[in-house]
Structure 1
């Protein structure tokens, strides 16, 4: 009987060890499940961080494009407001209607029939043209006075 009681006690200890092993396995499974959930949450956070970074890059690019468009619009508005004349235009946009630039020849002026290449740039720009008109009138007046004196 003593052997039976010892076998029964040993079976009870083994059953308790088995229950303890099962509880420990269940706890380890829960810890593993929590680690997996934490890994999924971290992966989702990483994906959200990447999406946020892409959105920030897109906002930066759009802000840069908007700033460039605004600068270009201000430059065009300034050019229109101050009536800047662009040199070497063969379509007559600078007010002197040069011809010949479109066909590949050197552009020239209708008034003087001189090529622009022969006239220094300061003489055909708008401020210099205004100053040149006054000087030309004085020259013509002096020339006509000399001609009248000679007669």
Structure 2
């Protein structure tokens, strides 16, 4: 007898959500450990429970060392693409879950892009103000030099 698939959507009841998290947390750590051993990879796992409790796990190296190594990677290596294996989507619910995930990712990307554009505009305005100040100082200095030479 097979197990029923769990529909991927947020558990609305906070108590049930915390209970579900507590039951599954150990399994995630165990799977991370297995992946680290079987594939000889460095694993750093950081989880925040619904109540805000932090759980960390690392395989082999310390969590901090793994995170430092990850931050030292060139940006090209840090970028990952997400491409679901469409042939493994068997139900409408799974398709909807993938769709929701991708829509959320697109929203996060749009917010990030908006922040980057706002920062870029802010920097451009500051650069323009700085250039105007330099020009004003140059004009003032040139005016002072010409008035001194006339005297």
TM-score category of the 2 structures, normalised to the smaller one: 0.3 to 0.5
User: TM-score, with normalisation over the residues of structure 1?
Assistant: 0.40
**Larger relative CO (CA 8 A, sep 6+): 1 or 2?**
2
Write 1 or 2 for the structure with the bigger share of helix: 1
User: TM-score, with normalisation over the residues of structure 2?
Assistant: 0.40
